[in-house]
Structure 1
Amino acid sequence: MKIGELSRRTGVPTRMLRYYEEQDLLHPERSDNGYRVYGPTAVYQVQQIRGLLDSGLTTEIIRRIMPFLDKPDDILMHPRCLTPEVDALLRGEAERIQQRIECLARNRDAIYAYLAAIQDAGRR
């Protein structure tokens, strides 16, 4: 399939698909006229990339673990993938995500406190 069809089937803009290729996450073949041609597994690969990006992983980490992922619902790494370097990357990423969660929770709590204070002031 061509890039436009992959975009339609995944909901990912063609610009992002090109970016995934630049980041060495997707590997389309090229037709004689230079058009990108994606195989049948490309839809699943894009779904996995989206899911991993949405979870906060970087393209560097995704590039390292993509060869070990089979299906969009099975984001389980093969034990051979967990080298000490990848282990350190994933642990660092998990800590960064945890810090973001804590920051978001503080922001959420501050917004609720602000809304409560405004509502209390309006009742007086």
Structure 2
Amino acid sequence: MRIGELSARTGTSRRMLRYYEEQGLIASQRCANGYRDYDELCVDRVQQVRGLLDAGLPTQTIRQILPCLGPPGRIDIPDPTPETLALLERECERMSRRIDYLTRNRDAMRAYVAQVRDSMRPEPATP
């Protein structure tokens, strides 16, 4: 499939798909006319990459674990090295810190919205 179809099917801009390819996260074959031709499996791969990016993983880490990605939602590392395990543990810890940070920000924002809503309530009428 060409880049436009991959973009439409994944909701990812053509520019981002070219970036993913530049970073070694996806691959394409080049047609005689120079157009990129993507395999059907790229649809799942792009969705996996987007999910990992959304989770906060840097492209360098994603590139390292891509060979271990099975079906969406599954990582298969048959014989992980101590370095791989350490990398994954660091990323889990970093995600946990980010979740804590986002939770604190969400709670503060909820409190602020509640405070603003309370201040906007009309005063009870006095007889």
TM-score band, normalised by the shorter chain?
A: 0.7 to 0.9
SS of the equivalent of 1:32 reads: coil
* Superposed CA RMSD: 1.9
Runs (4+) of structure 1 exceeding 6 A deviation are: none
- 1:16 is displaced (CA, Å) by 0.6
Aligned to 1:3: 3
Separation in 2, partners of 1:121, 1:47: 43
Question: Does the alignment pair 1:67 with 2:67?
Answer: yes
> Between Structure 1 and Structure 2, whose CA radius of gyration is higher?
2
Q: Using structure 1 for the length normalisation, give the TM-score.
A: 0.84
| TM-score (structure 2 length as normaliser) | 0.82
From 81, 86, 96, give the equivalent of 1:88: 86
How much has 1:84 moved relative to structure 2?
1.7
Deviations 1:42-80 (A, max 9, x none): 1111111112212222211111111122322x4222232
Distance 2:44 2:13 in 1: 15
- Distance in 2 separating the partners of 1:63 and 1:34: 25
Return 5+ residue gaps in structure 2 as ranges. Answer: none
* Cα distance in 1 for residues equivalent to 2:61 and 2:30: 26
Q: How many residues align?
A: 122
Moved more, 44-53 or 104-113: 104-113
- Which consecutive residues of structure 1, in runs of 5 or more, have no partner in the other structure? none
Q: Would you tell me which structure has more helix in proportion to its own residues?
A: 1
| Contact kept? 1:61, 1:86, Cα under 8 Å | no
